[in-house]
Amino acid sequence: MSLFRRRPLSIGWRWALRYAVAILVSLTAFSLFAYSRTEKQATREGRRLLERQAAELAGRVVEGFENIDELRGYVTSVADAEPYLKISVQVFDDNGRILYGRGILPSHEIGIPPDFVRSSRDSHFYEADLNKRFPYWVVVARAGEMFVQVGAYSREFVRPARELRTMLLTATPVVVVFSLALGWWLARTSLRPLSEITATTRRITGSRLDEPIPTTGTGDELDELAHTLEEMRVRIRDSVEKLRHFSADAAHQLRTPLSKLRSRLELTLESEPLSPSIRKTLEENLCEIDQLGSAVTAMLQLASSEAGLAPGQSELIELGGLLDSVVEFYEPLAAENQLKLARTDQNQVRVMGDLAWLRQLFGNLVENAILHTEAGGRIEVEAEERDGEARVEVRDTGTGIDPGSLERIFDRFHRGRSGGDSPAPGAGLGLTIAGQIAEAHGGRIGVESDAGAGSVFSVGLPAV
Amino acid sequence: MRSSADQYAAGVKILYVEDDPVAREFVERGLRSRGFAVDVAKDSAHGSELARLGDYELLILDVMLPDGDGFELLEHLRESGVETPVLFLTARGEVQDRIRGLDIGADDYLSKPFAFGELVSRIRAIARRRYDEPLDGCLRTADLELDTARHKASRAGHPIELTPKQFGLLEYLLRNEGFPVTRSMIIERVWGYGFESRSNAIDVQINYLRKKIDREFEPKLIHTVKGVGYVLEVRDPQATDG
């Protein structure tokens, strides 16, 4: 079942995203602050400018003027003081009539606020409604009996703030994209030791414990992780090594006395005149010793396959040919038991492994199938490569396995199949050894069975 | 009960290196009783000295010795030009140990505990291996002819169809004509390591071969040797055990 599953984002991308969000938030906060400060500042300065111009003009008007031309001169100089602000100016006489005006104000006839006229203040700042979209700022000031009015669009004053806003709005996406890229790069750079650790750790199996995990030597958290894993690797390697030594020692300790016992029995049987009953007992003892020897061999093999493939034990193996030779070896035995044993495909599948062990793995499965299938049955061996996995199935039409013992079928000394008494030495370990060999090759073994209809043993090994 | 093959043991001089005195005594006595001439050494140093001086046809080495392992001893001997065939006799019976032993130049490998018949069969197989390779690539006995170059077999001129493994099995028996070979020797030499069968697969294979070789012909050539294995030889009709 291969449902499409979305892969979670890599740490690199997650870090980059967080980084970008952090940048975005702080940049926005900064922008809001900068914009509001700039706007407030610009507003204040604009108002002051208008008040200054109004006061200056009022001063000149109070000083007096010869004719209208001189007044026009005053007005022009005030209006043009800051050309970009497009300042509008008008001067009223004591009756409230416009003596002279310039810019947008004269055409709107907003007059002088009556409140101000009645008050005793020198000047007044207010926002006039020119029926335009933008607020218009006006300062009116007393010039003796006359009044001067100076005004400008407020947006002209906040233009620098608006320019800053535009700039920030344009810059933000650019900065965010840039920080995303930078964050990704940073994360990738700092995580690179981690992916090396992962790659090495993945390569480490029972058979490849000799490759050290790379440490950066920087002493940071990643380096600490690498060191911890490296210590773990060394510990595992040592215990695997100890296990290998143990099985060699145990072999020596168990087999040497067995061997002496056997030789002694054989020599006695050969050289002494013995009564038939003693001879029979001794011969039976000889058989028991052989069975014990086989059991010791099987258990030691189990111990060594649990320790995994020894380094240098792995070679490129074509499973198709290997299975053919297994089938060929057991075919006469199957025929003797009136069974059909055959490979059902011609696939070539290549794996890395140990030839003798893999022969034993599939030999055990086929032998097991032969032992548990009744005359007239079929045993099929099939190999194929699927999703990078070499898959071998051994199917029989045998007695099957009852569901209760299905889980324990690969356990040591389990003789659950068909429940018959099987006198073969080492029996009960064949499937366990098969399972251990599969695992030592980085593979797996499984079984499905219908009681009465047969079993399917399947082995999956990493294909090359 | 002596087979006719025992006469070949005469003159086969063996050096046996083993540190365990009890095992040493039994093997020595057993081999002597079968007509082999046996010298013994109790450690690697003594063994190495004897192997270089004596004129042996076979060295039997224990892998675990008090002063170094048998593998090292063998490497040492091969380096100093001793080409005597070697059989490892050891309690370390892992297939990988066997392969390592054979890789560094051992001729055979037998793990403890072993049946004495097995040891004797293997010794004879090694001792014989150096003799008579026919010039035309044809192996013959009685009216059986095996053309190893063309992979053809015949009896009394009648061609016999054999599968490649049956051919290999027959060739192995024929090359050891007169010498019993054991089931595990057959598996190792004809099928290779890993087929350590707990069932009677080899007996069935032999029966198939017998049907093709012996059923319709006389004399019968393939015989069962009780407690050991099989032998291919021409026997007196009275002695044939079927």
Measure the CA–CA gap between A400 and A374, rounded to whole angstroms. Answer: 11
The pair phi, psi for residue A10, each rounded to 5°, is -70, 155
Closest CA to B154 of B207, B206, B220, B212: B212
**A336: which chain B residues are within 8 Å (Cβ-Cβ)?**
204, 207
| Per-residue pLDDT at A384 exceeds 90 | yes
* Shortest alpha-carbon distance between residue A394 and chain B (Å): 17
Measure the CA–CA gap between A119 and A132, rounded to whole angstroms. Answer: 28
Is the minimum CB–CB distance between A262 and chain B shorter than 8 Å?
Answer: yes
In a 3-state reduction of DSSP, which class is residue A67?
coil
Confidence of residue A427 (pLDDT cuts 50, 70, 90): low
Confidence of residue B140 (pLDDT cuts 50, 70, 90): confident
- Residue B163 to residue A328, Cβ atoms within 8 A: yes
- Residue B112 to residue A370, Cβ atoms within 8 A: no
- Residue B198 to residue A254, Cβ atoms within 8 A: no
Measure the CA–CA gap between A120 and B159, rounded to whole angstroms. Answer: 142
Measure the CA–CA gap between B105 and A331, rounded to whole angstroms. Answer: 33
Supply the pLDDT for residue A6: 61
Q: Closest partner residue to A426 among B95, B96, B198, by Cβ? A: B198
Instruction: Please state whether beta strands A146-153 and A136-143 pair in parallel, antiparallel, or not at all (unpaired).
Output: antiparallel
**B204: which chain A residues are within 8 Å (Cβ-Cβ)?**
332-333, 335-336
Q: Would you say B61 and B82 are in contact if contact means Cβ atoms under 8 Å apart?
A: no
Lowest mean pLDDT among A45-54, A147-156, A190-199: A190-199
**Residue of B31, B96, B98, B102 best to disrupt the A interface, most CBs of A under 10 A:** B96
- Residue B115 to residue A293, Cβ atoms within 8 A: no
Is the minimum CB–CB distance between B26 and chain A shorter than 8 Å?
Answer: yes
**Residue of A243, A244, A249, A255 best to disrupt the B interface, most CBs of B under 10 A:** A255
Question: DSSP 3-state helix, strand, coil percentages of chain A (rounded to 5)?
Answer: 55, 15, 30
Closest CA to A127 of A193, A55, A64, A50: A50
pLDDT per residue over A30-41, tens digit each?
A: 989 988 998 888
Is the minimum CB–CB distance between B92 and chain A shorter than 8 Å?
Answer: yes
* Shortest alpha-carbon distance between residue A216 and chain B (Å): 37
Measure the CA–CA gap between A410 and A361, rounded to whole angstroms. Answer: 12
- The ipTM value here is 0.74
Supply the pLDDT for residue B151: 84
Return the DSSP state at A42: H
The neighbour count for residue A431, using CB atoms within 10 Å, is 23
Supply the pLDDT for residue A420: 45
Query: Would you call the peptide bond into A193 cis, given omega within 30 degrees of 0 as the criterion?
Result: no
Supply the pLDDT for residue B210: 92
| Per-residue pLDDT at B242 exceeds 60 | no
Supply the pLDDT for residue A33: 92
Query: Would you call the peptide bond into B219 cis, given omega within 30 degrees of 0 as the criterion?
Result: yes
Closest CA to A302 of A178, A404, A410: A410
User: Which residues neighbour B158 within 8 Å (Cβ) at sequence distance 6 or greater?
Assistant: none
Mean pLDDT for A279-301 is: 84
Supply the pLDDT for residue A85: 83
Which residues are registered as beta bridge partners of A390? A385, A461
Amino acid code (one letter) for A152: A
DSSP sequence for A84-131 = GG--EEEEE-TTS-EEEEETTSGGG-----HHHHHS--SEEEEEE--S
- Residue A425 to residue B198, Cβ atoms within 8 A: yes
* Shortest alpha-carbon distance between residue A293 and chain B (Å): 6
Q: Would you say A442 and A390 are in contact if contact means Cβ atoms under 8 Å apart?
A: no
**Residue of B98, B114, B188 best to disrupt the A interface, most CBs of A under 10 A:** B114
Q: Would you say B39 and B13 are in contact if contact means Cβ atoms under 8 Å apart?
A: yes
| Per-residue pLDDT at B177 exceeds 60 | yes
**Residue of B197, B207, B228 best to disrupt the A interface, most CBs of A under 10 A:** B197
Is the minimum CB–CB distance between B21 and chain A shorter than 8 Å?
Answer: no
C-alpha A404: how far from its chain's center?
39
Is the minimum CB–CB distance between B32 and chain A shorter than 8 Å?
Answer: no
* Shortest alpha-carbon distance between residue A288 and chain B (Å): 12
| Per-residue pLDDT at A82 exceeds 90 | no
Conformation bin of residue B201: beta by default, left when phi > 0, alpha when psi is -120 to 50: alpha
Which residues are registered as beta bridge partners of B62? B89
Is the minimum CB–CB distance between B192 and chain A shorter than 8 Å?
Answer: yes
Measure the CA–CA gap between A219 and A232, rounded to whole angstroms. Answer: 18
**B22: which chain A residues are within 8 Å (Cβ-Cβ)?**
260
**B205: which chain A residues are within 8 Å (Cβ-Cβ)?**
329, 332-333
Which residues are registered as beta bridge partners of B38? B14
pLDDT per residue over A83-141, tens digit each?
A: 888 888 988 888 878 888 888 888 887 788 888 888 888 889 888 877 777 788 899 99
C-alpha A412: how far from its chain's center?
38
| Per-residue pLDDT at A464 exceeds 80 | yes
Is the minimum CB–CB distance between B66 and chain A shorter than 8 Å?
Answer: no
**A255: which chain B residues are within 8 Å (Cβ-Cβ)?**
91, 93, 111-113
* Shortest alpha-carbon distance between residue B20 and chain A (Å): 9
The neighbour count for residue A97, using CB atoms within 10 Å, is 8
| Per-residue pLDDT at A164 exceeds 90 | no
| Per-residue pLDDT at A57 exceeds 50 | yes
Return the DSSP state at A83: G
Supply the pLDDT for residue B121: 86
Measure the CA–CA gap between B126 and A189, rounded to whole angstroms. Answer: 63
* Shortest alpha-carbon distance between residue A407 and chain B (Å): 24
SS3 letters for chain B? CCCHHHHHHCCCEEEEECCCHHHHHHHHHHHHHCCCEEEEECCHHHHHHHHHHCCCCEEEEECEECCEEHHHHHHHHHHCCCCCCEEEEECCCCHHHHHHHHHCCCCEEEECCCCHHHHHHHHHHHHHHCCCCCCCCEEEECCEEEECCCCEEEECCEEECCCHHHHHHHHHHHHCCCCCEEHHHHHHHHHCCCCCCCCCHHHHHHHHHHHHHCCCCCCCCEEEECCCEEEECCCCHHHCCC
Q: Closest partner residue to A256 among B20, B33, B191, by Cβ? A: B20
Mean pLDDT for A72-88 is: 84
Measure the CA–CA gap between A168 and A37, rounded to whole angstroms. Answer: 14
- The residue in chain B having the minimum alpha-carbon distance to the alpha carbon of residue A359 is B194
* Cβ pairs bridging A and B (under 8 Å): 129
The length of chain B is: 242
A residues 324..353 contacting B (CB < 8 A): 325-326, 328-330, 332-333, 335-336
Cα-based distances in Å from A273 to A268, A282, A325: 9, 13, 47
Supply the pLDDT for residue B230: 93
Q: Closest partner residue to A255 among B112, B115, B200, by Cβ? A: B112
* Shortest alpha-carbon distance between residue A179 and chain B (Å): 58
Lowest mean pLDDT among A274-288, A418-432, B46-60, B106-120: A418-432
In a 3-state reduction of DSSP, which class is residue A327?
helix
Mean pLDDT for B182-205 is: 82
Supply the pLDDT for residue A404: 78
Instruction: Please state whether beta strands B152-155 and B144-147 pair in parallel, antiparallel, or not at all (unpaired).
Output: antiparallel
Measure the CA–CA gap between B79 and A417, rounded to whole angstroms. Answer: 53
- Residue A356 to residue B193, Cβ atoms within 8 A: yes
Supply the pLDDT for residue B141: 87
User: Which residues neighbour B218 within 8 Å (Cβ) at sequence distance 6 or greater?
Assistant: none
Q: List own/partner pairs for A395-399 with CB under 8 A and 24 or more apart.
A: A395/A369, A395/A454, A395/A455, A395/A456, A395/A457, A396/A369, A396/A372, A396/A454, A396/A455, A396/A456, A397/A373, A397/A453, A397/A454, A398/A369, A398/A372, A398/A373, A398/A374, A398/A454, A398/A455, A399/A372, A399/A373, A399/A374, A399/A451, A399/A452
Mean pLDDT for B18-45 is: 87
Cα-based distances in Å from A375 to A267, A336, A399, B95, B178: 42, 9, 11, 33, 37
- Residue B33 to residue A355, Cβ atoms within 8 A: no
Lowest mean pLDDT among A68-72, A205-209, A218-222, B211-215: A205-209
pLDDT winner (highest mean) among A128-137, A185-194, B75-84: B75-84
- The residue in chain B having the minimum alpha-carbon distance to the alpha carbon of residue A427 is B198
- Residue B30 to residue A266, Cβ atoms within 8 A: yes
pLDDT per residue over A237-272, tens digit each?
A: 888 778 777 776 777 788 888 888 888 888 888 877
**A304: which chain B residues are within 8 Å (Cβ-Cβ)?**
94, 96
Is the minimum CB–CB distance between A362 and chain B shorter than 8 Å?
Answer: no
User: Which residues neighbour A275 within 8 Å (Cβ) at sequence distance 6 or greater?
Assistant: none
Mean pLDDT of all residues belonging to chain B:
83
**A423: which chain B residues are within 8 Å (Cβ-Cβ)?**
none
Measure the CA–CA gap between B197 and A220, rounded to whole angstroms. Answer: 55
Conformation bin of residue B236: beta by default, left when phi > 0, alpha when psi is -120 to 50: beta
